[in-house]
Amino acid sequence: MKIAVTGLNNVDNPGPGVPVIRGIKEEGRFDAEIIGLIYDALEPGAYMKEVSDRNYLIPYPSSGLDNLFERLAYIHQVEKIDVLIPTLDAELYGFAKLSSKLESIGIKTFLPTKEQLDLRAKDKLFKFCTDNDIKVPENILAASIQDLYSISSKFSYPVVVKGIFYDAYIANNLDDAVSAFHKINLKWGLPIIIQEFIQGDEFNVAALGDGTGKTVGAVGMRKLFITDKGKGWAGISIDDPVLISLSEKIIEKLNWKSGAELEFIKEKERNEYYLVEINPRFPAWVYLAVASGQNLPAALVDLALGNNVEKFSSYEVGKIFIRYSWDLITDINKFEQITVNGVLNNG
């Protein structure tokens, strides 16, 4: 079987591709060859022969979905891909739109619909939560600097300034908010989300929904070490039935179909969970779920193939992941292969 995966950018803010592949490879049933789909010639996962067998450069969805489909169709002609797993937020709308075309040429996916993606989008999350009685920080959608002047009438500082796809800054005053607005606007465009800052600890859940409202699996995690980009560099699996049942409620309300990462803040005073984000793909720490007993990436492959998947009933608590960096040495001819031909063979 051949499984194509994106998000091999295992950098300081890593994509989930490598841990997704690691989970799939550990599930021996698939005997999978992995086809890495990369946007940049230096995505580290492409050079890791224990991770990917062959890698292909693909165009960004923003360059046009026809271009992307054409390239995928070519790769499929060569490789005969069975399942394709996109793992990056910014590409998911594109792949969701292409899913039926991909299916028509024989590539299976297991993706949320555009409507599902819209419901959990950062600018729509507040409405989804209030409609479904889920606690959520209040927010303002800022389309211009003028909108930032209303912050102090609605919230007290600090506030969280967020991009529509990525990036978040804590702003302690209007100057900070303006500076964060400019930085994010330059990179990710508008609107910018100004979110109420909830004092408390962050808890995350890696989950998989089967598209009918059922949660196939969900593993809770608390970050033990956070980088300056706010990314978890170490974390531990935790046991909180409230967190898991809240996650299952969210998956059910969305009829979520795919992997997801739910981000919560547990408010200090009342010990209540506030949903701050739903990322529409597995997190980069998803291998912790695999190591804790829920191989969510492998279950997603089964769902994509139309296989029956049983709900995971438990997982091991107290498992820790610690990320590390490692200098992979390769030869210039590998870099040449991917740069000139758009293909890198690790065989």
Residues that bind other proteins (CB under 8 A): 201, 203, 221-222, 224, 235-240, 266, 317-318
CB-nearer residue toward other proteins: 95 or 274: 274
Residues in the chain, total: 347
Closest approach of other proteins to the CB of residue 252, in Å: 23
CB-nearer residue toward other proteins: 306 or 318: 318
42-51 burial, b at 16+ Cβ within 10 Å, e below that, comes to: ebbbbbbeeb
CB-nearer residue toward other proteins: 150 or 314: 314
Closest approach of other proteins to the CB of residue 241, in Å: 9
Name every residue whose Cβ is closer than 8 Å to that of residue 216 and which is 6 or more positions away in sequence.
Answer: 208, 209, 210, 296, 299, 303, 309, 311, 312
CB-nearer residue toward other proteins: 69 or 321: 321
Q: How many whole angstroms separate alpha carbon 127 and alpha carbon 118?
A: 11
Closest approach of other proteins to the CB of residue 215, in Å: 19
Give me 4's structure tokens: 């194509």
| DSSP assigned state of 3 | E
Residues facing residue 217 across a β-bridge:
208
Q: How many whole angstroms separate alpha carbon 276 and alpha carbon 295?
A: 25
CB-nearer residue toward other proteins: 39 or 321: 321
Q: How many whole angstroms separate alpha carbon 159 and alpha carbon 174?
A: 10
**Centroid of chain to Cα 163:** 15
CB-nearer residue toward other proteins: 161 or 236: 236
Closest approach of other proteins to the CB of residue 291, in Å: 15
Closest approach of other proteins to the CB of residue 199, in Å: 15
Closest approach of other proteins to the CB of residue 322, in Å: 14
CB-nearer residue toward other proteins: 49 or 222: 222
Q: How many whole angstroms separate alpha carbon 74 and alpha carbon 72?
A: 5
Give me 135's structure tokens: 């606690």
Query: Does residue 137 have a cis peptide bond before it, meaning omega lies within 30 degrees of 0?
Result: no
Closest approach of other proteins to the CB of residue 152, in Å: 33
Residue 146 CB burial class (10 angstroms; 0-12, 13-18, ≥19): exposed
Give me 49's structure tokens: 């022969």
CB-nearer residue toward other proteins: 32 or 288: 288
Q: How many whole angstroms separate alpha carbon 207 and alpha carbon 297?
A: 10
165-180 burial, b at 16+ Cβ within 10 Å, e below that, comes to: bbbbbebeeeebbeeb
**Is 86 within 8 Å of 6 (Cβ atoms)?**
yes
Closest approach of other proteins to the CB of residue 104, in Å: 45
CB-nearer residue toward other proteins: 5 or 221: 221
Closest approach of other proteins to the CB of residue 222, in Å: 3
